Amino acid sequence: MKSVADRSAGVLAILAGCLSLREAYRLYPYHVTLLGGDHVFPAFIGGGLALAGIWLALFPGEAVRQEGGERAIPRFLPKTGLIPLLLLIYTFLLPWAGYPAATSLAAALLFRLLGAGKWWRCAVYALLLTAGLYLIFIEWLHTPFPAGMVWQFSRR
């Protein structure tokens, strides 16, 4: 039996993607270049959501059945409950430690929390994610991110 939840999520993702693409189309007259302007980010997000939604709607996964009924759910709840706490700590750590350090630490902890494997693998994934986001937002889009108070004090 195919998962109805996957099909429903796919349709919702397609709708959200279309809304985002419509916003990108509306912002296109204000562009500087084809890949420079306010329309780029909504276009990428909308395209990704629409493609993922089409994939989910056309190729849903098998319905998942849990053995043990409700026992499988509470085992995972303590881990998922730590995610908002970790993101809250990240928001306080970001201005103090700066973008690269805070993002690497938070990403490594999130990867470990979500079960990405051993600590070294989570650290590698976190560094790759931080470097990729740094290149996109700071180098390409010139978005200023906090440098961190720790690094400002060490320069004096």
pLDDT tens profile 55-68:
988 887 765 555 55
Instruction: Write the Ramachandran bin of 69: left for phi over 0, alpha for psi from -120 to 50, otherwise beta.
Output: left
| Encoded tokens for 148 | 């961190």
| pLDDT classification of 52: cutoffs 50, 70, 90 | very high
Percent over 70 (pLDDT), the chain: 83
Q: How far apart are CA 43 and CA 10, in angstroms?
A: 18
pLDDT in tens, 76-111: 556 777 888 999 999 999 888 988 899 999 999 999
Distance of CA 16 to the CA centre of its chain: 16
Q: Indicate the pLDDT class of residue 152, thresholds 50, 70 and 90.
A: low
- Residues 138 and 91: their CA atoms lie apart, in Å, by 18
pLDDT confidence of residue 1: 46
Residues in CB range of 155: below 8 A, 6 or more apart: none
Q: In this model, does residue 113 exceed pLDDT 50? A: yes
pTM: 0.55
104: its two tokens: 């690497």
Mean pLDDT of the chain: 83
